[in-house]
Amino acid sequence: MFRRPGVLAAVAVLVVVVAAALAPGLFTAADPVRGAIADRLRPPGAAHPFGTDELGRDLFARVVHGSAASLSAAVLAVGIAVLAGSALGLVAGTARGAVDDVVMRAVEVLLAVPSFLLVLMVVAVLGPGTGNVAIAVGVSAAAVFARIMRAEVVRVRGAGYVEAAVVCGTGRNTTLMTHVLPNAASPVAALAALELGNAILTVAAVGFLGFGAPPPEPEWGSLIAAGRPFLASAWWLTTLPGLVIVAVVLAVNHLGHTLRSENRC
């Protein structure tokens, strides 16, 4: 898989972005919060690779430092969705009967609500903030993981090696944790890679609406929102952070689709 040029390019993009999130000082020494009015709205150049914003702050530094908030929120959201959705799907696929009906009807209700609308509803209840946005995105995506996990658990439970384990006297919990869950988890892992790209976009969209990290803390969505009034005179304020989001989402989605195709093979 890693001999493919597209996969290598996607991995390179993700390595750079993760490194920027973990150690932003490796990429820039500029302060992402403080600026100089004399340097306001400078176009991209040697001193400021992404230009400066309306307060003279280095936009490249703000994008680099904002990657930590955006990526951590997206990863936390996917983690919440995987844990909550997988637990619900595992319970529904194992218990069956009335428990299965109740859980899957609740999942269908969540799937019937547009995911972004559900995110906004949860954020309205919890309040703004990066952590609350991550919880909201995770809740909205949990139903998809629940449905996938339930389908895989039902499929694996009918496999010959699971029936053989039961006949040999293996306990229910042991069979579930040893045979069912590991073999049902592979499609869920591939879906998690795909869902990470959606989570990055959703976190950025919520930040664009002003519900993400509070100012002046940088976050990818809020950077684009802040540059919107200057589209005609300072294109770089929205274009360059937007291109960073596009590159990261394309890299994540490419890896997710590759993992999914490898899993099917």
pLDDT digits (tens, 9 = 90+) for 33-79: 888 888 899 999 988 999 999 999 999 999 999 999 999 999 999 99
Residue 55 inside a domain? The answer is no
Query: The domain that contains 112 carries what CATH number?
Result: 1.10.3720.10
Residue 196 inside a domain? The answer is yes
Q: How many domains are there within the chain?
A: 1
Predicted TM-score of the model (pTM): 0.87
Residue 229 inside a domain? The answer is yes
Supply the range of the domain harboring residue 189: 5-20+61-264
Give the three-class secondary structure for 58: strand
Predicted pLDDT of residue 72: 93
Residue 52 inside a domain? The answer is no
The residues facing 58 across adjacent strands are 52
Structure tokens at 152: 């895989």
Residue 200 inside a domain? The answer is yes
173 pLDDT band (50/70/90 cuts)?
low
Structure tokens at 146: 């629940």
Orientation angle between helical segments 181-208 and 59-95, nearest 10 degrees? 140
Query: Residue 200: is it exposed, middle or buried by C-beta count within 10 angstroms (0-12/13-18/19+)?
Result: buried
Residue 34 inside a domain? The answer is no
E strand or H helix that includes residue 238:
helix 236-264
Predicted pLDDT of residue 167: 65
Low-confidence winner among 86-95, 122-131, 146-155, 163-172 (lowest mean pLDDT): 163-172
**With contact defined as beta carbons under 8 Å apart, do 22 and 59 qualify?**
no
Output DSSP code: residue 179. Answer: I
Provide the sign of the torsion angle of the four alpha carbons 47, 52, 56, 60, taken in this order: negative
Residue 110 inside a domain? The answer is yes
Residue 165 inside a domain? The answer is yes
Of 68, 187, 198, which Cα lies nearest the Cα of 130? Answer: 68
